[in-house]
Structure 1
């Protein structure tokens, strides 16, 4: 019997944001390849009310089709209203009202068996409301900021808790994330650890000197992959750079924090050794990982960063802070180092790896357990297990 899955995700790529939630898309695609699963993706798009919606920054979102075939999946992109900077808790009601008519129509045409919410907020509370309306169970996956940020804010913490309590099953990207959820009072008996996957055919070992030459770099290269936001800790990498002579720091990602980082680099006199790559298309990231001797990401919080796993799959060791599932990945010296979030410790760890580089094949070995097939098998088993359990 085919399981009909409604996948709800505010974190899903589109033509204007090809890297936005690409790991959610890849998980959805993997599940959709299973003959005993049918997947319909609803990826709501937040838009402020008129006249704010006419701003140039929203033009790419206004141009998106409301329904399309996206990499062999049917994806619906209904619009819901947001209040920029102040929305937060209002997004749950706004999104529910906007998408419920569509969901009811789709459910009438082909009844859904289960709702899979890909992010805890606002997706989780919305899934809870849809579950009540349709009378079917739902699952929610915790990825990082949805628990560490929205689960800690006074205005949204209770919504996250209620969504967790009402779910028939829960997923966490790491064992550390599961423990964080349990500390919030969420029943850990219903939480299943569900690791991300990595495309081992695309993210693979390549000749590092040749990769550096192709990008025009010489000498040691440290790469940071992540949005340019304070939480990711790129400022600490910039501050570590004066302690790392001849090292080039590459940053793949975009965000308004770039201006702060550029100013800091100028003040420290290392601006000529930093390259801002912007938002690198996901299918081009392996080339960048291949050129790096180290991938460093010293975030203040994470679930289990996809960049960690992708770097390891390319044979590139990582330097990361002790957050999220870091210890579940860096479980041997070849994988890299876990460091304190301060420049001296970061520089020391990077220097140690540069002076004693591990074998690339040994580094890649640490990532071989993170396959999309394993991810898809676990997700299908999880959803089949809760289908038929009814709504809360």
Structure 2
């Protein structure tokens, strides 16, 4: 965990559920107190919010799970301003319902947004949605790549002349791995897919589909280096760090219009943006592998340029800057000092 660089008084609360390592570092950087949110029934979450007494301390809500508890906290509990860290697909689901989400969950999240005082969004799209759902200020703070991995990825030379496709992420319906598997029979190029991440071993295996599950840091870096292309097929995504890591390594990335990093990837080449449908993904994959090695290398260099700057130090500084500005905009009386 990183050492705190900023001291905010009163000390912030970071209300979380299964926190992303990057978000944990953000919380530590501003010396926030980590508090796990309730994950039971809606009544359990309301009861938990009612029972909190945080005084006048600002509360940062990580993603969608703590929103109901935060709304209850705001109405019948005790706290300072409620800051939503818009960092998951909750926002997309509210405006464009996802089949994997329930109506009850969607309605709860929509209503809870009314109690949010300000939003730190990880992408332009989430910021736009938050503007529609809340009356408070919205600022953007992007995730970043952790220091050690960033350094190793920047020095990497991926195997752009090969035919291996890397897909990184937990095996979940929302992450689109099943769409990519269904695309394989429609891909004319003789490619191999490497699926990496928790539960990916549940995917069907074949000569062309390799499933690795959760891997060590060393194994992950080896898979990045052996890859010729990354595909992140999720229909929606906040600002996935895995795609940043691909760009950082100089690996062209295929993704969909609903993913936050699509704005970066479009800068590498607009043909790398595909609709989240098997046929469209297959067409995009075949287009990429039809390119001569020289052109693939050019795209790799462009990807590396777009992946630069998402290092840990810059990301943490940006988060602290946007958080303190947001609190100031809310006219919250906080003392902010460098540690």
* Deviation, structure 1 residue 126: 2.0
Q: In structure 2, what is the equivalent of residue 180 of structure 1?
A: 129
Within 2, Cα distance between the matches of 1:26 and 1:135? 23
> Hey, which bits of structure 1, 4+ residues long, moved more than 4 A?
150-153, 281-284, 387-391
Aligned to 1:134: 78
Contact 2:244 2:261 in 1 (8 A): no
* Residue 10 (structure 1) aligned with residue 17 (structure 2): yes
**What's the TM-score, normalizing by structure 2?**
0.78
Q: 1:54 maps to which residue?
A: none
Shift of 1:6: 1.2
**Is 1:322 the counterpart of 2:257 in the alignment?**
yes
1:362 aligns with 2:306: no
SS in 1 for 2:234: coil
51, 58, 74: which one pairs with 1:114? Answer: 58
Counterpart in the other structure of 1:53: none
Structure 1 residues 283 and 390: CA distance shift in structure 2, 3 A = farther
Counterpart residue number, 2:142: 195
Counting only pairs closer than 5 Å after superposition, residues 189-268 of structure 1 correspond to structure 2 as: 190-199=137-146, 200-208=150-158, 219-242=162-185, 243-255=187-199, 259=202, 261-262=203-204
Taking the aligned partners of 1:372 and 1:81, their CA distance within structure 2 comes to 30
CA contact (8 A) 1:9 1:117 kept: yes
Flag structure 2 segments of 5+ consecutive residues without an equivalent. 1-5, 334-339
Q: Tell me how far 1:146 sits from its aligned partner.
A: 1.9
Q: Deviations over 1:108-146 (max 9, x none)?
A: xxx764211111x23123234445533411200122322
In the aligned structure 2, how far is the partner of 1:22 from the partner of 1:131?
27
Say if 1:161 and 1:219 are closer, same or farther in 2 by CA, change over 3 A: closer
Asked whether the 8 Å contact 1:198–1:310 carries over to 2, the reply is yes
**What secondary structure sits across from 1:208 in the alignment?**
coil
Q: Distance in 1 between matches of 2:143 and 2:39?
A: 31
Cα distance, 1:335–1:322 mapped onto 2, change above 3 Å:
closer
The alignment's TM-score, normalised by the length of structure 1, stands at 0.69
- From 45, 53, 59, give the equivalent of 1:92: 45
Corresponding position of 1:373? 313
Q: Residues 349 and 205 from structure 1, CA distance in 2 versus in 1: closer, same or farther, beyond 3 angstroms?
A: farther
Instruction: Tell me the secondary structure at the aligned position of residue 309 of structure 2.
Output: coil
Counterparts in 2 of 1:146 and 1:280: CA distance versus 1, 3 Å: farther
> How many angstroms apart in 2 are the aligned matches of 1:123 and 1:282?
30
Partner of 2:243: 308
Give the Å deviation of 1:81.
Answer: 6.3
SS at match of 2:284: helix
Alpha-carbon separation, structure 1, partners of 2:57 and 2:92? 30
In 1: Cα distance, 2:332 partner to 2:71 partner: 12
Relative to structure 1, the CA distance from residue 176 to residue 272 in structure 2 (aligned partners, 3 Å threshold; closer, same or farther) is: same
Taking the aligned partners of 2:74 and 2:7, their CA distance within structure 1 comes to 19
